[in-house]
Structure 1
Amino acid sequence: MDNPARPSPLACTSCRQKHLKCDASVPACTRCITAGLPCNYTPSRRGYRGAKRPRENEYHPVYIGHGTSVTTLPTQNPTWTSPTAPSLTGSSVQGGSSNGPGNTYGSTPAMSPNQQQLYPTSFHSSPSSELVDEDELVNLFYSNFFSAHPILVPGSLYYVHPYPEYLRQVVRLIGSHYSSSVSSDSLRASIDLTGHGSTEQKDSSMVQARLLFAIALHARGEAMEAADMMHAAVSLAIEIGMNLRNFATAHGQGNLVQEESLRRTWWELYVMDGYMAALHKRPSFKSNTVHSGVLLPCEEVIYASLGCLPQPPSLEQFDMRLFADEEIQFSSFAYRIEAARILAKVLSVAGTQYEDQVQVVDNALAGWIHGLPQIKADVVNSYNVVDEMLFQGHMIIQCATIYLHLPRSDLLNTLPVTANIVCAERGRHMSPASTQHMHSVKATNASKELANLAAVRVPVQKHTPFFVCGLVLGAIVQLSACSANAGSEQHRDRVTLIIGLLKSLSRNWAISGQVLIQVKKVASEVLQTSNLSSPSVNQQDNTAYDSGISIGNSPSNTSWLSMLNMVENQEFYGLMHLESIYPGSV
């Protein structure tokens, strides 16, 4: 009789702690990859014969390039370290601890000959003593921001990678927004990526710096500067050919991690460019007007582990995934890219009067969710770890759904001031009355899904700053539905949740604090008015109201929307980046 399957003699720490069977695959076991967890191994203690003299500075080679290995810290230590940075003491951080698991620093001896070959000595010197809390700020960047925008090399390679000083300045700026002891304003003033003077560079590092800086500027509430910086990043990327398939291999210097970083940079640029276009109500975005032959990124856990990176799939393979004979596993980043591509389709039909075209795009929105594999059915896995790339994919799809359906709905069609709400422009209510109701239902359901994303119980500072705009969009629809439906407990609860998240995010990003004040003011008026107009609403009736069905849009219960008039009232300036920022936009 065959012996039953027994656990592998070498199991990762995660499987050991949960007493689960581990297949001991490297660089990560199947269970950890599926769960999106870091996978680490410790030496087995079976056959232990007593204490041995401790060995210091024990390292393991990890393959990161074409036939090249580098020396890293022991795999049982899940923290990432800087090779030359001093340890932190007494640092005060906000939004993340610099001393928590996975976020600590330590000293690392000199690099191995192979590592020195990949990263010349001139690039891995210790941080300047004149810099403010260099080590802390880099730590905060990787602990809080990196998972939402993972384009640079993993943290364990940051100090040994030849990043120029202007890019490191941007990293420090972003990290400062998660610190309560470092002022971000002085760091902001020292950054100049406009292409003038000594910082004029035309390479991938400048693209990365401009991209990250544009995200930071947006989150700081500097809308015009953010738009200009994003445009500069996209233009430079196209100029140097980052959208071409062979760019990563030609400029990666045989380093697979660097090649992956370059591929991620282009696709991150594509996604962020789409975000900006939607916020500014533009019908297209520049990175979507050129051919993108770049191969797709790998899973985050594989990228972070510095393991042997798999052969990246192509966009053509992804598009044919549902029709292929052999199933190919694609990363969450790839599904996030697909969500941005669908958003581009939504923007392209913003002004169309043809319901057939709208239906085609609506089918793509629904198809994205149904096309997710079973292991990506939820943004939170069984270990309560959030897949940030998948989280953003869902956020983009729900925002795009609102962009598509709210202008065609009956939620706001009696109100002239809706021209100044993003995705609800004046004169865009082109749908027949028979279909407006269905558009209202779909827009309201999408805002409910955004609220569900807000309800995910994870540290909110780890989400992209663009989540603020998704929250505001969800609040606008929920308040509109609440006003149209003469009040609803479900709408009120969702708005309350969104306000709470905006308050938490305001600790790190100014844009959240700016919109929080206005959302609270609007919510106070509409909820008070709804209570006055509907003093008694029983719980049974709430199920009908929750669908977004209009039961009488009287001007008396929608006066709060006059606060959204950007022409006559600037109180909502910065809430969503509107037409006044781009006077000639469509």
Structure 2
Amino acid sequence: MSSDLQVAPPPVLKPNAKHISRACLECRHRHVRCDGGSPKCSRCTKNGKECSYVKSHRGGSRKKGVKKAKLNPLEAERTLEQRRLELPCVGADGKVGSCPNGHTESSCALLADNNFEGLEKLPCHLKDNNARTQVTFETMRRATSNGTYLKQQFDVDAVLHNYYAKFHNAHPVLPPLSHMNKFLERSDNPKELLAVMKIIGDGYTTSKYAKDINAVFDVAMEISSLINSGPKDLISIQTLILVSLVCHISALHDFSTTLRKQAIELALTLDINNLDIERFVGEDINGNVLKDAGNRNTNGLTPSGSSTEELNVNFFNTQRVRNLEEVCLKDCARRCFWELFFLDIIIGCADGKTLSTLAQKQCFVNYPSDPPRAKFDYETRAHCSKLVDESVRLNNIIFSNMSIGQQYTKLTASLSNWELKFSNPDFYQLPYLIDQNGTVNEGVHQGIIMLNYAKIFTHRPLSFLWRSDIPRNLKCVEFLSDQLKNDNDNCQDLPTQKDLINSRKIIETRKTIDAANSIAKTLIDTNPVDVLKRTPLSACSMAFAGLVHLSAYLWSSQIVQTQEQHNLNICDLNIYEEYLKLELSGIYQISTHFYLSAKIANYLMDNVQRLLPSLYSKIQHHFKHYSNARDPPATIARSPNAVIPMNESPSMNSNEALSNNITYSLAMEGNSSSDKNFSLTTPSSDEPPSPQSDTGCNWIDKNQMDFDFSNMEFGGFDIDSLNAIEELFKVNN
């Protein structure tokens, strides 16, 4: 071999050399090799460059025959949860705050990161109330909480004191205070129950949860996770009821709905709706009759006679409830059931369309023995709640263009019967709203609210305060006269029938307004100063009444403009104005503690400003403290671009003032609807549900309110322009 022939030395192989499957963006742009280091590659670290990674779109591993090892289901779920925590949060045009998964604001801004395609991003918490996020409960349920709230050591005495002093009387879900220490001790001090009791007590004694619903959301998520991972029993139901209510009054409506449905499902699974089936007499609240009751041995709590023996064993013999007395446990179950029955209707049915789940089930459950009926009337509240469900059912029939004759007659008779009962409690052996000691019976109070809810839902669709097409539908007004049963739906061509329908609509309008007046009068009777002693859901009833009074003000103002003798209507306008001030005052008091009230008060004020600027100016002056505050609360905070109400001359007569009110409000609408900085955004029907509703109240978001005056003679007034009021409500389908 020639000496000139040189053999190339063998290549030097680096130990453990491997193919790098990812490269940072900086190295990609420079077309240099990247070692894929985490969190920064060595080249970016050396050069002080920003280092970030995105997913490659060139496929998977280049090595043939190499497959990833399969994970068992438990490891796969854990890996998925960990990867979700590494995701950036859902964007909201840069309007982000602290996030439930611990992300910083800068990391949430990395919305183009595609490292984890196919996984849903977690919701960010919003600094701007107008920002929207695409969040469903399924996304929230899979989120992992930091778990700090439940780890604290609760001061049980302080928790019990605040909860029972401020909240328990309005919603007596738990045992009496005298029994509660023993209840907690025997059930091993359940953390989730103490946590929700603490957040309710803190909500009433401070204002921190009125300003930070993110904190409510975090605690609710933590409690929900603990319930889902632990035993399901009566304490789980108690906790779910309270957490659901807290979420609702914090404007976390989708989350609240899911928790409430979970509580109902668990109650039905544990057969609580048949708790007293052995001893039940007569029809239940839904009209179900028990047949062959003597042949049934089901107890509802004990395992001996149930077809679902295992579930009932778990219900009665879980580790933390096995030592509870059976009498106490059964009464707790009754309180839970009837609280769910009430909440599922006042919250779930208040959109005017949704029917209650429990109002369609067997309810062979007696009313609780503690508190006694003289202190809290469960029966009255339940029956009045049932009327709301029936009125919503009537609404659905109306919207379906079906005959309502029999349903309407039966429902209005039932409503009138309950009006008579409340007017003469002694004759019907009912407790008074306020007893001889001045104590308010919260069950009667809530029953009155539900009765007036039912009256509004029943009468408003057929009044001048609701949709124009409904009173023209002959099937909806066939109870007026047999003469209306013909094929011609155009009532405008039939003067006699038109007058008859107008007369009926006036009656329905007055009944609707009377129901709203009754809500305001109940607030007066129970002392507006003590509104925080009532249920926090009173804010919804006052807002509902306020919307009716606003629509009544608009309707009456049009009559004033067309009548020479308008003294009576002017008096009505003054009454509606004072009622609006009263209702807003009550809502504002609750808004200092819970966020929902702030949202609906702000929503109501915005619509008064938009539709009746002069009335808004009067009401705003009434709340001068809020409007002049340097840092106004959420209830009255307004956009810097909000339109200032028009000033009126003292010499302007009432007709001119009313005309200017409406004309100016119509001119305002175009500006306010296009103002991106307006304090409350207009709900959009194509946006997905959010844990925080646009207006802060679910029944506002999912309802619709419009007015029609075409059946009344208003001279030369431009009636068509009043269609702008249709924007008062938007329907989210």
Q: TM-score normalised to the size of structure 2?
A: 0.50
Q: SS of the counterpart of 1:505?
A: helix
How far has the Cα of 1:197 moved from its partner? 7.6
Distance 2:249 2:475 in 1: 31
Cα pair distance change 1:355/1:555, threshold 3 Å: farther
Distance 1:451 1:575 in 2: 19
Distance 1:461 1:130 in 2: 28
Alignment of 1:288-367 (within 5 A): 288-298=359-369, 300=371, 332-352=377-397, 353-367=403-417
Cα pair distance change 1:481/1:561, threshold 3 Å: farther
Q: Deviations over 1:458-514 (max 9, x none)?
A: 521121121111111100010111111116110000000011011101112110011
Q: Of the candidates 248, 251, 258, which is equivalent to residue 228 of structure 1? A: 258
Does structure 1 residue 447 correspond to structure 2 residue 516? yes
Please name the residue that 1:566 is paired with: 683
Does structure 1 residue 437 correspond to structure 2 residue 522? no
Does the CA-based 8 Å contact 1:141-1:175 persist in structure 2?
yes
The code of the aligned residue for 1:189 comes to D
Please name the residue that 1:276 is paired with: 347
The code of the aligned residue for 2:593 comes to N
How far has the Cα of 1:221 moved from its partner? 1.0
Q: Deviations over 1:61-90 (max 9, x none)?
A: xxxxxxxxxxxxxxxxxxxxxxxxxxxxxx
Please name the residue that 2:699 is paired with: 577
Cα pair distance change 1:197/1:230, threshold 3 Å: closer
How far has the Cα of 1:367 moved from its partner? 1.2
| Higher mean C-alpha displacement, 248-257 vs 154-163 | 248-257
Cα pair distance change 1:585/1:345, threshold 3 Å: farther
Distance 2:505 2:522 in 1: 26
How far has the Cα of 1:391 moved from its partner? 0.2
Does structure 1 residue 260 correspond to structure 2 residue 331? yes
Q: Of the candidates 408, 419, 438, which is equivalent to residue 384 of structure 1? A: 438
Please name the residue that 2:46 is paired with: none
How far has the Cα of 1:226 moved from its partner? 0.7
Distance 1:260 1:344 in 2: 25
Distance 1:447 1:584 in 2: 23
Q: Deviations over 1:212-265 (max 9, x none)?
A: 111110011111111111111111111111111246664495443332121111
Alignment of 1:115-154 (within 5 A): 130-131=152-153, 133-154=155-176
Distance 2:662 2:548 in 1: 17
Alignment of 1:56-135 (within 5 A): 130-131=152-153, 133-135=155-157
The code of the aligned residue for 1:142 comes to Y
Distance 1:406 1:377 in 2: 29
Please name the residue that 1:189 is paired with: 218
Please name the residue that 1:171 is paired with: 197
Cα pair distance change 1:264/1:226, threshold 3 Å: same
Alignment of 1:486-525 (within 5 A): 486=557, 488-525=573-610
Does structure 1 residue 404 correspond to structure 2 residue 469? no
| Higher mean C-alpha displacement, 576-585 vs 194-203 | 576-585
Distance 2:471 2:170 in 1: 30
Distance 1:377 1:155 in 2: 23
The code of the aligned residue for 1:511 comes to L
The code of the aligned residue for 1:355 comes to G
How far has the Cα of 1:144 moved from its partner? 1.3
| Higher mean C-alpha displacement, 481-490 vs 254-263 | 254-263
Does the CA-based 8 Å contact 1:472-1:575 persist in structure 2?
no
Cα pair distance change 1:556/1:467, threshold 3 Å: same
The code of the aligned residue for 1:475 comes to G
Q: Deviations over 1:252-291 (max 9, x none)?
A: 9544333212111111111111112222333411112210
Q: TM-score normalised to the size of structure 1?
A: 0.62
Cα pair distance change 1:470/1:568, threshold 3 Å: same
The code of the aligned residue for 1:136 comes to A
Distance 1:493 1:282 in 2: 31
Q: SS of the counterpart of 2:157?
A: helix
The code of the aligned residue for 2:250 comes to R
Across the two proteins, how many residue pairs are aligned to each other? 413
Seq. identity, %: 17
Cα pair distance change 1:190/1:495, threshold 3 Å: closer
The code of the aligned residue for 2:387 comes to I
Q: Of the candidates 204, 207, 214, which is equivalent to residue 234 of structure 2? A: 204
How far has the Cα of 1:580 moved from its partner? 5.1
Distance 1:257 1:396 in 2: 29
Distance 1:299 1:158 in 2: 13
5+ long unaligned stretches in structure 1: 1-127, 305-330, 417-423, 539-550
Does the CA-based 8 Å contact 1:495-1:523 persist in structure 2?
no
Please name the residue that 1:218 is paired with: 248
Cα pair distance change 1:265/1:569, threshold 3 Å: same
Cα pair distance change 1:510/1:387, threshold 3 Å: same
Does the CA-based 8 Å contact 1:296-1:334 persist in structure 2?
yes
The code of the aligned residue for 1:258 comes to L
How far has the Cα of 1:186 moved from its partner? 4.5
Cα pair distance change 1:234/1:153, threshold 3 Å: same
Please name the residue that 2:545 is paired with: 474
Cα pair distance change 1:147/1:428, threshold 3 Å: farther
The code of the aligned residue for 1:441 comes to R
How far has the Cα of 1:208 moved from its partner? 1.1
Q: SS of the counterpart of 1:266?
A: helix
Cα pair distance change 1:385/1:444, threshold 3 Å: same
How far has the Cα of 1:341 moved from its partner? 1.4
Distance 1:428 1:471 in 2: 33
How far has the Cα of 1:528 moved from its partner? 3.7
Distance 1:245 1:433 in 2: 50
Q: SS of the counterpart of 2:396?
A: coil
Distance 1:238 1:138 in 2: 29
How far has the Cα of 1:293 moved from its partner? 0.3
Q: Of the candidates 370, 377, 399, which is equivalent to residue 420 of structure 2? A: 370
Distance 1:425 1:209 in 2: 45
Cα pair distance change 1:568/1:491, threshold 3 Å: farther
Structure number, greater radius of gyration: 2
Cα pair distance change 1:274/1:525, threshold 3 Å: same
Q: Deviations over 1:308-340 (max 9, x none)?
A: xxxxxxxxxxxxxxxxxxxxxxx6111111111
How far has the Cα of 1:396 moved from its partner? 0.5
